[in-house]
Structure 1
Amino acid sequence: MLSNPQIVLFGDSLIQGCADVSGGFSFQAALQAQVIRRFDVVNRGFSGYNTSNALSILPKVFAPPSPGVPELKYLFILFGANDAAVPLPTNFQHVPLDKYKANLAGIVNHPIITAHNPKIFIVTPPPLDEIRVTVLDQEKGHPAAARQTKVSAAYSQTARQVAAENRGVTLIDLHKALMDRAIEKTPGFDPKGRPALGDPEGGVRGYLEHLLPDGLHLSAESYRIFYDLVRPHVSTEWAGTRDEDRVGYVLPDWRDAPWLEEDSYLKGKSR
């Protein structure tokens, strides 16, 4: 039975959305195209989940190494947007910051994960456009915004800390990349000494309007930025080789297949 090694995307709706194609770009499709026939890109995104939920389901999502279980080679972890939801009578996703940190470290160091010895990446939750979120959350019946810019930024900073404190873990700073793009594309906005874009205190959404259409979830442009951050970290040892289109395949290219040895005519025609 063919069993390609896996690249697993583990997270909340931001990971679930990696498979979306409606905006003209799919993070998951782009990554799969990069590693086609070498790795399988597996989406394990669970909309609405926080890190406590993630820890509870982890043994159902990942199997320990054994014959027939695909090898986990890369693991990308993106949780925190729901942990950072503020406590409201209408929302119960919140996980305190210290618990979030412990949960994230618990995922990274879970025995099932460490048994595979994958390359592990922690992705910071993206920025938040609280101005937009406030409008939409109140329309849904919440008494106030379920998420706040400064609170969400604190969870992103904690994700950075977990990556720094756990050996062998690489940080993918999606929060910084998206905020940098938003600042770059917002004419006249100087972030020094001012509230962040999307913070009601400053009252400026700027280019976050394009990167986070509903204030929380990523646009196709944001997923492309995310992919550009991830792409250099995924194995590309075949890139630039003479036979780049077939080096590293789990099963051989048709031109290298053993059955060609059985038919000298076909072998001659294939070269």
Structure 2
Amino acid sequence: MYPIASLPRQLSNPQVVLFGDSLFQGCADVSNGFSFQAALQAQVMRRLDVVNRGFSGYNTSNALSILPKVFAPPGSGVPELEYLFILFGANDAAVPLPTNFQHVPLGKYKANLTRIVNHPTITAHKPKTFIITPPPLDEIRVTVLDRGNGHPAAARRTKISTAYSQAAREVAAENPGVTLIDLHKALMDTAIAKTPGFDPKGRPALGDTEGGVRGYLEHLLPDGLHLSPESYRILYDLVRPHVGTEWAGTRDEERVGYALPDWRDAPWLEEDSHLRGKSL
């Protein structure tokens, strides 16, 4: 039983923050039948709040410039940052073009990611921090769409994007306490497994214009860059085991860890004892 005096004056759940580019901004969309953000929120309902801080088009330099506006230091009235998921790189990897200025050099991308995970405002909360690798790129599809949108060439290249995913892996490995979520590998493994007859050994990657084979990337990256609902579900399956481990597997997992008590344990039942055991 929760005594009334122990209840918070105002509910302020700890937060799971999704900090990234359009890949996180779009994860709230429910129009195609699956929403990563909604699935994650359902998993932590009444314990944590999932907060979307995805900014379409942003690179890691942009992220650093806005970080003080996105995150507040711990203090009175500031929700605790419990989990932080970082997904940047798809825009950093854009090639320099007269029509596109999102590019961040590979070394600076690594330095920026490192600065984000070690930013004093972030570390003051002591969150569980995760770096998600940018996904693969379907350069074949991207080339068609980019040329149609007025770019002189593809704004992104498969091999370059792959290098940025590897850089994200390295940053996660180089910073103690940071966990890697390898979305690039998970999506590419899925695409290879679902592309009949495709053997990746000694061949250009799926989506690379040199190989000319999109394969199952067509379904995972409909515009060559952004995630389909199937891809978001794959991402959720990667993230799910890391969130809520403190109550997972408990005897009464469905209600353990609630910020406010389950109705069966609510303090007002002491005042209305005649209702105990009855559904309201």
Fold equivalence (TM over 0.5): yes
The Cα offsets for residues 41-91 of structure 1, whole Å up to 9 and x where unpaired, read as 000000000000000000000000001000000000000000000000000
Q: TM-score, normalised by structure 1?
A: 0.98
Is 1:137 aligned with 2:146? Answer: yes
| 1:85-234 correspondence to structure 2 within 5 Å | 85-234=94-243
The secondary structure found in structure 2 opposite 1:88 is coil
Q: How far did 1:266 drift?
A: 0.9
Q: Give 2:219's aligned amino acid.
A: H
Q: Which residue of 2 aligns with 1:73?
A: 82
1:43 aligned residue (48, 52, 55): 52
Q: TM-score, normalised by structure 2?
A: 0.95
Unaligned runs of 5+ in 1: none
Q: Which residue of 2 aligns with 1:236?
A: 245
**Does the Cα contact within 8 Å between 2:264 and 2:277 map onto a contact in 1?**
no
The secondary structure found in structure 2 opposite 1:36 is coil
Q: How far did 1:188 drift?
A: 0.2
Q: How far did 1:270 drift?
A: 5.3
Q: What's the Cα RMSD here?
A: 1.1
The Cα offsets for residues 140-175 of structure 1, whole Å up to 9 and x where unpaired, read as 000000000000000000000000000000000000
The Cα offsets for residues 193-232 of structure 1, whole Å up to 9 and x where unpaired, read as 0000000000000000000000000000000000000000
Unaligned runs of 5+ in 2: 1-9
Query: How many aligned positions are there?
Result: 271
- What is the rounded CA distance, in whole Å, between the counterparts of 2:154 and 2:108 in structure 1? 22
- What is the rounded CA distance, in whole Å, between the counterparts of 2:27 and 2:92 in structure 1? 20
Query: Structure 1: which 4+ aligned runs deviate by more than 4 Å?
Result: none
1:268/1:211 Cα in 2 relative to 1: closer, same or farther (>3 Å)?
Answer: closer
Percent of aligned pairs with the same residue? 87
Q: Which residue of 2 aligns with 1:267?
A: 276
- What is the rounded CA distance, in whole Å, between the counterparts of 1:231 and 1:264 in structure 2? 39
Q: Which residue of 2 aligns with 1:256?
A: 265
Q: How far did 1:115 drift?
A: 0.3
Q: How far did 1:239 drift?
A: 3.3
Q: Which residue of 2 aligns with 1:245?
A: 254
Q: How far did 1:267 drift?
A: 1.7
Q: Give 2:127's aligned amino acid.
A: P
Q: Which residue of 2 aligns with 1:34?
A: 43
